[in-house]
Amino acid sequence: MKKENKSLTASMEDYLEMIYRLSVDTGFTRIHELSSALNVRPPSATKMVQRLAELKLIKYEKYGVLILEENGKLLGSELLKRHNIIENFIKIIGVDETNALEETEKIEHTVSTKTIECIDTFLHFIEENPDVLTQYYQYRFEHTSEQ
């Protein structure tokens, strides 16, 4: 087995993750749904989808529906998991909801698996030690008057 699939660009990851999210219920999604979810024009989505199809991550036929291949589904769910770890973390340290998503999207494609693991461990730690968070928020409150 070779690595093969691991060299997705940040954008490709964005697309794949979104395809995963959009098709998790229905089993499929479409170009216009994808493109509007990513705030991108349809031609951009088409092009990327064709590349993902070449990599056998999704099944795609012209004018048709987008369906994840087994590989794509696996990778997609990993990407989503990663996304959620970052997002939880970003929220916990105090970035407000309005910006949290955006910040998450910016970070998620850049950091390594190791870093994600660290963040995940940290989140679990916080979960089991909620008093730490209380302390932190108290501290934040005292040290953040007007922004």
Interface residues with DNA (CB under 7 A) are 9-12, 14, 30-33, 38-51, 60, 62-64
Q: Report the Cα 97 to chain-centroid distance in Å.
A: 16
133 contacts which partner out of a second copy, DNA, none, CB within 5 to 8 A by kind? none
Kindly state whether residue 9 participates in binding a second copy, applying the rule CB under 8 A: no
CB of 35 closer than 8 Å to CB of 44: yes
When binding is defined by CB under 8 A, the residue of 9, 32, 125, 134 that contacts a second copy is 125
Interacting residues of 103 by C-beta distance below 8 A, sequence separation 6+: 90, 95
The number of residues making up the chain comes to 147
When binding is defined by CB under 8 A, the residue of 5, 9, 26, 121 that contacts a second copy is 121
For residue 81, the minimal CB distance to DNA (Å) is: 21
Interacting residues of 120 by C-beta distance below 8 A, sequence separation 6+: 85
Kindly state whether residue 62 participates in binding a second copy, applying the rule CB under 8 A: no
CA distance linking residue 93 with residue 111, whole number of Å: 17
CA distance linking residue 92 with residue 104, whole number of Å: 12
When binding is defined by CB under 8 A, the residue of 40, 55, 95, 101 that contacts a second copy is 95
In 3D space, the residue among 4, 27, 10 whose CA is nearest the CA of residue 82 turns out to be: 10
Q: Please identify, using beta-carbon distances, which residue of 19 and 45 lies nearer to DNA.
A: 45
For residue 14, the minimal CB distance to DNA (Å) is: 7
SS3 134: helix
When binding is defined by CB under 8 A, the residue of 72, 144, 145, 146 that contacts a second copy is 144
Which residues here bind a second copy, judged by CB under 8 A? Answer: 90, 93-96, 99, 102-103, 106-107, 110-112, 114-115, 117-119, 121-122, 124-125, 128-129, 132, 135-136, 139-140, 143-144, 147
